[in-house]
Structure 1
Amino acid sequence: MMNETMKVDRRDAKLALAHIYVAFTALALGGLAGLLQTLVRSGKLQLPAGISYYTILTTHGTLLGLVLTTFFIIGFQFAAISRTAGTLSDRVRFWSWVGFWTMTVGTAMTVFFILTGQASVLYTFYAPLQAHPGFYLGLTLLVVGSWISGFATFAHYARWKKEHPGKASPLLTFMAVTNMALWLVCTLGVAATVLFQLLPWSLGFVDRINILVSRTLFWYFGHPLVYFWLLPAYMVWYVCIPKIIGGKIFSDSLARLAFILFLFLSIPVGFHHQLLEPGITPFWKFVQVVLTFMVVIPSLMTAFAMFATFEAYGRSKGATGLFGWLRKLPWGDARFFAPFVGMVFFIPAGAGGIINASHQMDQVVHNTMWVTGHFHLTVATTVVLTFFGAAYWLVPHLSGRVMTKAMNRLAIIQAVVWAIGMSFMSGSMHFEGLLGAPRRSAFSTYGNSPQALEWIPYQIAQAVGGTILFIGIILVLVIITNLAFFAPKGETEFPVAEAAEPQERAALALENWKLWIGITVALILIAYTVPFIDMIQNAPPGSKGYKLW
């Protein structure tokens, strides 16, 4: 049953809202931890009651990098497939709730052990840092719950395909399925290291584990995680933003092809996070760096499609000249303005990513604050501002309310505040990184050494930026609370644009999942099989004590 002109079903809306509520709760707690981090690093705050800097660092990274993103993405995608591929069946909805509660229980366990000081292992939880077994079990439940939600998404897609033989699926549904396929494949790495290495090790079943294998499995997951964050933002850009501005999707087939290319190219590239680690031969690092740079192809396709959409709309409204179309865009609409600001920030973020993935240049910035600044441009600005912009229509659509002019003005102010705060914080992180300041470290670690004194102005700028960003968090929480519970009752559109030139046959050809998943697996095997065997065969003495690890 198609649902093209209807609201998201009330029962599906409750499911999506539950995910969004958890996501914004994580934003509040993780944002506070981030503010405390910047104040501690600036030397202006000493944490009370013996609270460790690394406890709040772990809280910030885990809640915002994993919990906020995963819950918002899955909630948004459930709403998207309900809106475009029809109301969820009772069985799919039941298992979706099972996935939600499994994720929520896992999140609560993880956060409990972090806040009680038993899991200060940072966002990456690298060995030999060791956490309480409950931390690893909580992470496992979070991942398993997301798998359940992923299979529920696949089941709904399969039902639509069965009811519509020979037809291409709705674009948003196709995109959600692609993103969950990427997620299920990439999380196999983090599940393997947690279940077969870190959890047995923390329980005392083994004395040692192969740390290089553990880090490799983490980054097999860690880099495609970035695209799990980005692809839902691209879903908003490709499908929702054109409708909001009154235009059309530039090309349905181009959008599908870009998503397929992201599925191919985002997983077998984890070594570019390990360029300075021994134990991996230069040849295999080179192979994965080449694959990393190929991601620029779908990225440029996306940029071209978006600005082509904007220009086509502007010219349809009478714009002339090279950039006259810019004046025709709806700058007073927060649903457009917040994501557009995120798009602009993605330009320097992409340039920084090229530096991080380049072997020679990475040696200058590897494990410095530069990398932290890069993450704050990508996920904390491009992705998060897009999610905020989507929430401004998604939450009232799901709650049966409307966004008032006052809330729209406040949302535009919030985006400006966020842009200013992030310019201070991320910009100073990049400069501090170029001066050699390490990431994952408190300022007090380096005392009054001459090098540390060079970093102080940038750390103060980070504290200023962090404070401004926390104000932005307060503003968005006020807006979302209003849209969920207090805004006037009414109907808000779930914007889904039409393609300028629908190409059903081309779109259908891009749904050959056996081929796409097969190519993805083949690339993974090519990129990882030989180096993984080398890591196990050439492991240092004492690290082979647990099966193959």
Structure 2
Amino acid sequence: MALSKKVGQEEETAYITLSKPEKRLYMSFIYVAIISLLIGGTMGLLQTLVRSGQFNLPFGIGYYQILTLHGVVLALVLTTFFIIGFQYSLMGKTVGMSSKQRMWAWISFWVMTAGTIMAAVMILLGRASVLYTFYAPLKAHPIFYIGLSLIFIGSWISAIVNWRQLYLWKKAHPGEKSPLLAFMVVINMLMWVIASLGVAVAVIVQFIPWSLGYAATIDVLISRTLFWYFGHPLVYFWLLPAYMAWYAIIPKIIGGRIFSDSLARLAFILLIFFSIPVGFHHQLTEPGIDPTWKFVQVVLTFMVVVPTLMTAFSIFATFETTGRKKGFKGLFGWLKHLPWRDVRFLAPFIGMLAFIPGGAGGIINASHQMNEVVHNTIWVTGHFHITIAATVILTFFGISYWLVPHLTGRRLTKQINRLGIIQSIIWAVGMLIMSGSMHIEGLLGAPRRSAFSTYGGTEQAHVWEQYQLAQAIGGSILFIGIILMVYIFIKMAFFAPKGEEEYPIAEEEPDARPTPKFLENWKLWIGITIALILFAYTIPFIDIIQNAPPGSPPFPNLIGNN
């Protein structure tokens, strides 16, 4: 359990020491994530080269084959494995992990790994070139869908382990406030399970029977609705671990304290409210969904601005108050105290800056009229990269620079720190070039998900080709960043000098106001979340089923062949 000790006049928490078996468990997830980075990044490089018209894939490999592998491995496998490994370590450090819980955590790892291998093999064999979104009527081999199902099932086991960890801690500490990071992990896994139930239903009830031949048809609109019920909160499943680091890790790295425990908890509660019942804003151009319900979900989408701005205020308030306490004066004098030469801070900070244009692009994507301009153009791909591949991944890199040495019993040396700074800058430059050119090309009307570089040889296509060449340059720079990150990871995990690296968790201000107990009223928050989902989806979902076209049953395995 986490204990408190007095240091001078201030109270600090002595967190739990992670055991070697725990560290091996957590690192196993990180290993899969770094392997996924290398594989998925290589596929991304090949895509940009093909689109530039300067390269042809060898051995009969298809463009959509590598596009699918790139999307699935990076957007689903890398993120999920890293997040679960990181969150396990947070829970182990703050509330502890028993041997039984560790056993179930290993089960979750192997179930997810088996599912990953199954899905990846089908993609590599060319039997599942259905892209990251696997939209029907594109059909993959049943093993691909079964593999996806196992990834979700394994992640649900992880969620149950995390919930059990906090439950036992609360039982042993009646009336006490739960550790902030443990609270955040439980929120994120709660959101993940509620959201992933949608895509799991689509895969298990619709796609697997359809791919096995038990049903001749599939309801495309139902499958897409279930996917985007999951697809948008998936973005927040990626973002919330980054928020955890911003709220509770970065303050410790800069020598400060958490600005407000209450504000952080409230922001996470609001994020779960307004991240799930908003999938229709990805389907604004699709027929079959009542425009009224599209509008309702767009409104709910924009409500997420509130906790996002709360987070920005809290983080930069931490920066300023820490700088003021260190004696830095003037309007922006506090910026001078920030540890710009510490990669543990620099990488996530660049990610924070990338989130500003990323958030602005998200507002455009969710706005009906502006969405009409960019829908299904490569603008969307550029937005996806600047938010996930810049904001989230750079923060994950920043976490790795202290987490991996801590788990492997090694030190973050000056050389590794310097290489990390170089890697972060390379990544930022490559992403700026690639994502920026995607945004511009999208505004010029270039489609997404397309391998073609000439588009018929028109004058407009010639303009597009210039931006595709820029994407190839940016993608090549990013690939250099990937190779460097893999090298740094290997150095940190296996070759850095033995030693102890800090697990940086910030404390509250000693005179902070008590956190209201109602913020941990789980029944209330889960109830409101479910109520919002039912409000946003029940009527339009019934309407979609009732108006399904002939021969397209929404759940084919319940109705049979047609």
The answer to whether TM tops 0.5 is yes
SS at match of 1:51: coil
Cα distance in 1 for residues equivalent to 2:204 and 2:137: 16
Contact 1:121–1:131 (CA<8 Å) still a contact in 2? yes
Structure 1 match to 2:7: none
The amino acid that maps onto 2:226 is L
1:425 aligns with 2:441: no
Structure 2 match to 1:31: 41
Question: CA-to-partner distance for each residue in 1:27-84, whole Å, 9 max, x for gaps?
Answer: 0000000000000000010001111000010011001000000000000000001111
Q: Percent of counterpart pairs with the same letter?
A: 65
Contact 2:319–2:338 (CA<8 Å) still a contact in 1? yes
Structure 2 match to 1:492: 501
1:256 aligns with 2:287: no
Q: Which moved more, 1:311-320 or 1:363-372?
A: 311-320
Structure 2 match to 1:206: 215
1:276 aligns with 2:276: no
Give the superposition deviation at 1:450.
3.2
1:80 to 90, 101, 126: 90
Structure 2 match to 1:52: 62
Runs of 4+ off more than 4 Å: 501-505
Cα distance, 1:502–1:391 mapped onto 2, change above 3 Å: farther
Contact 2:91–2:181 (CA<8 Å) still a contact in 1? yes
| Matched length | 548
The amino acid that maps onto 1:119 is A
Q: RMSD across aligned C-alpha pairs, in angstroms? A: 1.2
The amino acid that maps onto 1:51 is I
Contact 1:253–1:503 (CA<8 Å) still a contact in 2? no
Contact 1:167–1:504 (CA<8 Å) still a contact in 2? no
Structure 1 match to 2:184: 175
Contact 1:536–1:548 (CA<8 Å) still a contact in 2? no
| 1:123-522 paired onto structure 2 within 5 Å | 123-444=132-453, 446-500=455-509, 505-522=514-531
1:107 aligns with 2:116: yes
1:66 aligns with 2:76: yes
The amino acid that maps onto 1:256 is R
Give the superposition deviation at 1:157.
0.8
SS at match of 2:341: coil
Give the superposition deviation at 1:314.
1.0
Q: Which moved more, 1:318-327 or 1:226-235?
A: 318-327
Give the superposition deviation at 1:315.
1.0
Cα distance, 1:489–1:283 mapped onto 2, change above 3 Å: same
Cα distance in 2 for residues equivalent to 1:7 and 1:504: 28
Cα distance in 2 for residues equivalent to 1:222 and 1:367: 16
Structure 1 match to 2:8: none
The amino acid that maps onto 2:270 is L
Contact 2:454–2:462 (CA<8 Å) still a contact in 1? no
Question: CA-to-partner distance for each residue in 1:372-391, whole Å, 9 max, x for gaps?
Answer: 00010111000000000000
SS at match of 1:506: coil
Question: CA-to-partner distance for each residue in 1:519-543, whole Å, 9 max, x for gaps?
Answer: 0000000000000001110011110
Question: CA-to-partner distance for each residue in 1:169-194, whole Å, 9 max, x for gaps?
Answer: 10111100100000000000100000
Consecutive unaligned residues of structure 2, counting only runs of 5 or more, are: 4-13
Give the superposition deviation at 1:452.
2.0
Cα distance, 1:532–1:481 mapped onto 2, change above 3 Å: same
Cα distance, 1:527–1:304 mapped onto 2, change above 3 Å: same
Give the superposition deviation at 1:321.
1.4
The amino acid that maps onto 1:30 is G
Cα distance in 1 for residues equivalent to 2:435 and 2:172: 48
TM-score, normalised via structure 2 length: 0.96
The amino acid that maps onto 2:481 is G
Structure 2 match to 1:42: 52
Contact 1:7–1:494 (CA<8 Å) still a contact in 2? no
Q: Which moved more, 1:322-331 or 1:228-237?
A: 322-331
1:11 aligns with 2:25: no
TM-score, normalised via structure 1 length: 0.98
Give the superposition deviation at 1:2.
2.2
SS at match of 1:129: coil
Give the superposition deviation at 1:449.
3.1
1:542 to 515, 528, 551: 551
Give the superposition deviation at 1:499.
1.1
Give the superposition deviation at 1:319.
1.3
Give the superposition deviation at 1:5.
3.5
